[in-house]
A and B are shown apart, each in its own frame.
Chain A
Amino acid sequence: MKPPPFEYVAAHSVEEALDVLVTHGWDAKVLAGGQSLIPTLNFRLAAPAILVDLNPVSELAFIEANGMLRIGAMTRQRTLERDETIARLAPLITAAMPHVAHPQIRTRGTIGGSLAHCDPAAELPAVCLALDATLVARSQRGERAIPARDFFFGLFSTALEPDELLTEIRIPPMPPNTRYAFREVARRHGDFALAGVALTLQLDEAGRIRAPRVALFGVHDAALLSESAMRLLDGAAPSEALVREAAEAVAHDIEPSSDIHASAAYRTHLAKVLTARALRDALGDALGHATE
């Protein structure tokens, strides 16, 4: 199918894009990589009056590391996947990227597009939650920094106001002894996840888990942190029993939906299994050999 008619503006700067947004509000849609928006238009599931194309805005495509890792919203997903700075400072992103659709899609798709679109099965929102990222939004009213945990509201719904543009993602440096893991399951390689988990945790000098961040996706109306699992893990000594208990606990926090690909019950089952696997990946040797 073809999209419904729309007006098109190619923005060459953030200011130009913000001008359009402030004028048109909800009637405008931002075009980043277009990998979700264009199919949505072609299926006529959305009919925005005007599209603001950010692709010419070169100032939004950057990766900078200066204490804080800063990623421009228009950075392509393929770039995230291959960038050495990211592999060094935020290897969870590197681990997650091959699961995001297919190379052709990642070549066009952007980090900001995925976060602002907020598909419940998308990987990058969960990765941002696990990394405790901050999302920077700009409007003509100014700039505000939104912690990832306050950004993803629900199905295709975020903290962004209609006049705001997501410009940058800031990721704090990982303390030493930080562990991470990423796991997901899809019916086919590259499809939206049936369930997935991205997590980080630290091990203190006594070998106890500190600051666990267990983010789940595909099993709720948006990516979310499993507070129940995190409470159990925080301060606990790693053990197989703890892994299983934490994995069971994620079920308290999620409300998966049933659809043509999987039932809610199966998604819950997957969330538990994947959480356990991701925790084992992250804890690795810290789990010891005596546990089983």
Chain B
Amino acid sequence: MRAIGSSLSRVGAVEKVTGRARYPGDLNKPGQLYMKILFAGRPHARIVDIDLTAAKQVPGVVAILTAEDVPVNEYGLIIYDQPVLCGDVVRCVADQVACVIAETEEAAIEARDKIRVVYEDLPILTDPIAAMHPDAFVIHPERGESNLLCHYKIRNGDVEAAFAEADVIVEGVYHTPFQEHAYLQPEAGLAWLDGDQVVVNVAGQWMHEDRQQIAHALGWPEERVRVEYSAIGGAFGGREDMSVQIVLALAAIETGRPVKIVWTREESIIGHHKRHPMTIRTRWAATYSGRLLGVEAEVIADAGAYAYTSTKVLGNAHLCVTGPYEWPAAKVDSYAVYTNNIPTGAFRGFGAPQGHFAAEMQMNKLAARLGLDPVVLRLKNCLREGSQLTTRAHMPPGVSLPHVIEAAAEGAGWKRPDGSFQKPTLPPSDAPHIKRGIGFACAMKNVGFSFGFVDECWAQVELHGGGEIEEVVVRCAGADVGQGAHTVFCQMAAEAVGVPVERVRLVAAHTDETPGSSGSSSASRMTFYAGNAIRGAAMRALKLWHDEIRPAVGTYRYRPRATTPFHPETGEADPNVSYGFVAEVAEVEVDTELGFVHITRVMCADDVGKAINPRLIEGQIEGGVVQAAGYTVLEHFQVRNGEVLTRHLSTYLIPTVYDIPDRVESIILEYPDPQGPWGARGMAEMPFIPLAPAVASAVYDATGIWFDELPLTPDKVVATLHASQSTDQHE
């Protein structure tokens, strides 16, 4: 059996299902203390006074940290715009103001509640469009004279001429909502001192970046910080930024004792960022024959109070808002805006779902307008080998999108025996109030980091044995956040070395064991990057092995060709190294009286290049579809005046096993990426991206109404259907 291409059982699966796996919240050390964080709980205020007197008198309190205890009081993955602990101003409810460290969690809670903070409330901005107004007050005056975090442009071709020449123009305004990651494991961690090092054991996505952020805030060299990852209970982008890492390190240093923290679900929902809500206005110009002529788009993203990864998420939305299509002319303006809302950042898809929601709705509206089949229209205009992006860069080789679109259509019965395409007809429901519909959408997304970021992955392979290779030790820090990265690392190492996978041992527990960074478990990049690094290291080790060196140790730092950021005026850029491609067909039943949209079937065709572990890929497809189904029809993160109203899983509803689509069918395609290890591409975000527009288009097919705002909650569906009926009566 080959090591790759086999559905081997996941590393750690038995430990997880038997409860033996240790997550950060399961860790304990003798003499440990407990920490609780005081969140601001108000969207914008000046801190007039922090009185710790009563809190310090609570028995068992060991230390209370405030802003003045943070040596370098700033952090942020892209911009250091966030204080670790706020000392003068709080800018959102999630701001951390103080940390109480006590002998017991109860004492820490009691003392936290006795901290008296005197605030002077300040005006708030929670609407990004209002925050862009020239007269709006500035949330980060130290960062410039407006609330604009960033503005990207694309100016390519003659858009005015395109619209002048157009036979049809399709316009739309689209709204996408916040989304909460809702991973099973709320944030937790344990920190302690080990010699001259502080050790922080948490669940994150990129341990070397965690180390850098902690060291920066401590003002320590990185070598004195060790970051360890235990089992990680889901991430989806929500663990990309700091949560408990820095304050844990501070607390362990302050007290000299191990310090533990476990967030409640409410703290987790408040304490980490969300998916960006975006408002997208767009116009498309096309000919009667369905040729795209030109596009205009404006994207406004609510960044919340701090940058997190907003500049990069916006970049992705900027690129995706015109869809995976060739455009002779494009004019796009995208803005990320500071507000006093909870910060927004990375979440599976990373700007691509928002951009594609607008683009794919536009595509389906255009098809309806022209009376053309949406699959045919896509095949006519989609990116293919050698296509140019709106940023004028050529697509990297291996553009499989036309095959992916065809495969999804064929799987859904959309392709007829004569090779033509026609939307399948669903049998009508027996119940008159149930309407059935079917919708199509496709998407592309970058694999790996973008826009000039130097992305890389380090790995080391040691070959042990005498005459034959008895053990392969692989060092690669890439986080297994539940997607199965460690399993495919082992499979790829075994394949590269040519031994059974049982002989591979992975070392990935902490930063000292894996001196090189593997980069983040995000951007669907881990298989692609770690695979290339592990293969490179294995080749070097094998060469030494053949030279009779024992153990034979090869290290390799995979670094693909450089990308470039958007040109500030034209948007010209070579944004990405590699892309994944996906297409989905969704079937729905709409209860037109109750307003419920039930997804009965999803067909997902995802080009993975090479399926290293097909079962794990199916898991990613089904998980991505379910998460996107929640985003589309159920999850409703509600914020009013900067306050989060949905602070529990009883109010923020995610799908249970009873609420997911009836059927999810995976079509795993293997069109190799020439740069990928064994041809593999990133795939884990792709299934999320086209689902919302596929479902909304199926709802249109069922009801004749376009829903341009997510989520499609039943009250909204009923109100819109009723409004359209009364309009019909007037006409």
Q: Which residues of A are in contact with B by a Cβ distance under 8 Å?
A: 1, 185, 187-191, 260-263, 266, 269-270, 273
Asked if A260 contacts B715 (CB within 8 A), the reply is no
Q: Is the CB of A260 within 8 A of B645?
A: yes
Nearest 6 pairs of A and B residues by beta carbon: A189-B658, A266-B715, A273-B593, A188-B659, A260-B651, A187-B653
Listed by A's residue number, 7 A-B pairs whose Cβ atoms lie within 8 Å are A188-B653, A188-B656, A188-B658, A191-B653, A260-B646, A261-B653, A269-B718
Minimum CB–CB distance from B486 to chain A (whole Å) comes to 32
What distance in Å separates the Cβ of B630 from its nearest Cβ neighbour in chain A?
Answer: 10
A1 touches B264 (CB 8 A): yes
Question: Please, which residues of chain B bring their CB within 8 A of the CB of A270?
Answer: 594
Which of A1, A187, A260, A262 is B634 in contact with, Cβ under 8 Å?
A: A187
- CA–CA, A164 and B659, complex, Å: 40
Residue from B264, B634, B646, B719 within 8 A of A188 (CB atoms): B634
Task: Check: B411 CB closer than 8 A to any chain A CB.
Answer: no
Q: Is the CB of B656 within 8 A of A189?
A: yes
Select which of A185, A260, A269 is within 8 A of B596 by beta carbon.
Answer: A185
- Decide: A260 and B638 in contact? CB cutoff 8 A: yes
| Chain A: minimal CB distance from B662 (Å) | 12
In the assembled complex, how far is the CB of residue B651 from the closest CB belonging to chain A, in whole angstroms?
A: 5
What 0/1 readout, one digit per residue, does chain B (346-385) give for beta carbons within 8 Å of chain A?
0000000000000000000000000000000000000000
Closest-by-CB residue of B relative to A276 is B593
Q: How long is the Cα–Cα vector from A143 to B258 in the complex, in angstroms? A: 59
Are the C-beta atoms of B656 and A263 separated by less than 8 Å?
no
**How far does the alpha carbon of A1 sit from the alpha carbon of B653 in the complex, in Å?**
20
Interface flag for B551 (CB, 8 Å) = no
User: In whole angstroms, how far apart are the Cα atoms of A189 and B634 in the complex?
Assistant: 12
Output the least CB separation between A6 and chain B (Å).
16
Q: Complex formed: what's the CA distance from A106 to B719 in Å?
A: 34
User: B549-587: which have CB < 8 Å to A?
Assistant: none
Interface flags, B700-731, vs A, CB<8A=1, else 0: 00000000000000110011000000000000
Give chain A nearest CB distance to B309 CB in angstroms.
Answer: 29
Which residues of the other chain, A, contact B595 by a CB distance below 8 angstroms? 266
A189 to B659, CA, bound (A): 6
- Whether the Cβ atoms of A273 and B655 lie closer than 8 Å is no
A187 to B634, CA, bound (A): 8
Instruction: Count chain A CB atoms within 10 A of each CB in B594, B595, B659 and give the residue with the most.
Output: B594
Among candidates B594, B645, B659, residue contacting A273 with C-beta atoms closer than 8 Å: B594
Please state if B718 and A266 are interface contacts (CB–CB under 8 Å).
yes
| Chain B nearest Cβ from A105, distance in angstroms | 13
Write the nearest CB–CB distance from B7 to chain A, whole angstroms. 30
Q: Which residues of A contact B655 (CB under 8 A)?
A: 188
Cβ of A187 to closest chain B Cβ, rounded Å: 6
Chain B residue, CB-CB nearest to A267: B715
Q: Which residues of B contact A190 (CB under 8 A)?
A: 656, 658
Is B594 touching A185 in the complex (CB atoms < 8 A)?
A: yes
Binding site for A on B (CB under 8 A): 264, 593-596, 634, 638, 645-646, 651, 653, 655-656, 658-659, 714-715, 718-719
Contacts of B718 in A (CB 8 A): 266, 269
Q: Given A190-B658, A263-B715, list of 18 further CB < 8 A pairs?
A: A1-B264, A185-B594, A185-B596, A187-B714, A188-B653, A188-B655, A188-B658, A188-B659, A189-B659, A260-B638, A260-B646, A261-B651, A266-B714, A266-B715, A266-B718, A266-B719, A270-B594, A273-B594
A191 CB contacts on chain B under 8 angstroms: 653
**Residue on B with the closest CB to A292?**
B432
Give bound CA distance, A261 to B634, whole Å.
Answer: 10
By a CB distance below 8 angstroms, the chain B residues around A189 are 656, 658-659
- Residues of B close to A266: CB separation below 8 A: 595, 714-715, 718-719
Q: Which residues of chain B are within 8 angstroms of A185 by Cβ–Cβ distance?
A: 594, 596, 714
Residue of A at shortest CB range from B656? A188
Shortest B590–chain A CB gap in Å is: 14
A2 to B364 Cα, complex, angstroms: 51
**Closest CB-CB distance, B351 to chain A, in whole Å?**
28
Please, which residue of chain A has its CB at the minimum distance from the CB of B593?
A: A273
Q: What is the chain A residue whose CB lies nearest that of B648?
A: A43
Closest chain A residue to B650, Cβ basis: A191
Chain B contacts for A263, CB-based, 8 A? 715
| Whole-angstrom CA separation of A189 from B660 in the bound complex | 10
A133 to chain B, nearest CB (A): 28
* B626–chain A nearest beta-carbon distance, Å: 13
Q: With the chains together, A122 CA to B510 CA distance in Å?
A: 50
Q: Which residues of A contact B264 (CB under 8 A)?
A: 1
Shortest Cβ gap from A181 to chain B (Å): 15
Report how far A21 CA is from B326 CA in the complex, Å.
76
CA separation between A83 and B176, bound complex, in Å? 47
Which single residue of chain A is at the shortest CB-CB distance from B719?
Answer: A266
Q: Which residues of A contact B715 (CB under 8 A)?
A: 262-263, 266
CA distance A188 to B646 in the complex (A): 16
Distance of A281 from chain B, by nearest CB (Å): 12
A269 (CB) vs chain B CBs: closest residue:
B718
Q: How long is the Cα–Cα vector from A213 to B293 in the complex, in angstroms? A: 63
Q: Nearest Cβ distance between residue B635 and chain A, in whole angstroms? A: 10
A257 to B634, CA, bound (A): 21
Inter-chain CA distance A261–B719, complex, in Å, is 15
Report the separation of the CA atoms of residues A266 and B645 in the bound assembly, to the nearest whole angstrom. 19
Q: Which residues in B have their C-beta under 8 angstroms from that of A187?
A: 634, 653, 714
A262 to B716 Cα, complex, angstroms = 10
Assembled-state Cα–Cα distance A260/B644 (Å): 11
In the complex the two chains form, what is the Cα distance from A188 to B598 in whole Å? 11
Complex CA gap A263/B264 in Å reads 28
Residues of A within 8 A of B645 (CB): 260
Interface centre among A1, A190, A262, A269, by most B CB within 10 Å? A269
**Alpha-carbon separation in the docked complex, A260 to B656 (Å):** 19
Q: Output the least CB separation between A155 and chain B (Å).
A: 17
Which residue of the partner chain A has the closest CB to B432?
A: A292
Compute how far the CA of A260 lies from the CA of B634 in the bound complex, rounded to whole angstroms: 13
Bound together, the chains give a CA A1 to CA B266 distance in angstroms of 11
In whole Å, how far is A204's beta carbon from the nearest beta carbon of chain B? 29
Measured CB to CB, the closest approach of chain B to A124, in angstroms, equals 20
A1 to B645, CA, bound (A): 19
Q: Which residues of B contact A269 (CB under 8 A)?
A: 718
For the complex, what is the distance from the CA of A270 to the CA of B264, rounded to whole Å?
34
Closest to A262 in B: B715
Q: Which of B646, B651, B715 has the most CB of A within 10 A?
A: B715
Bound-state Cα–Cα, A187 to B593, Å: 15
Given the complex, which residues of B lie within 8 Å of A188, measured CB to CB? 634, 653, 655-656, 658-659
Chain B: CB-nearest residue to A277? B593
What is the minimal beta-carbon distance from B454 to any residue of chain A, in angstroms? Answer: 44
Residues of the B chain whose Cβ atoms lie less than 8 Å from the Cβ of A273: 593-594
CA distance A260 to B647 in the complex (A): 11
CB distance from A176 to the nearest CB of B (A): 29
Instruction: Report the bound CA distance from A266 to B715 in whole Å.
Output: 6
With both chains docked as a complex, state the minimum distance between the C-beta of A185 and any C-beta of chain B, in angstroms.
Answer: 6
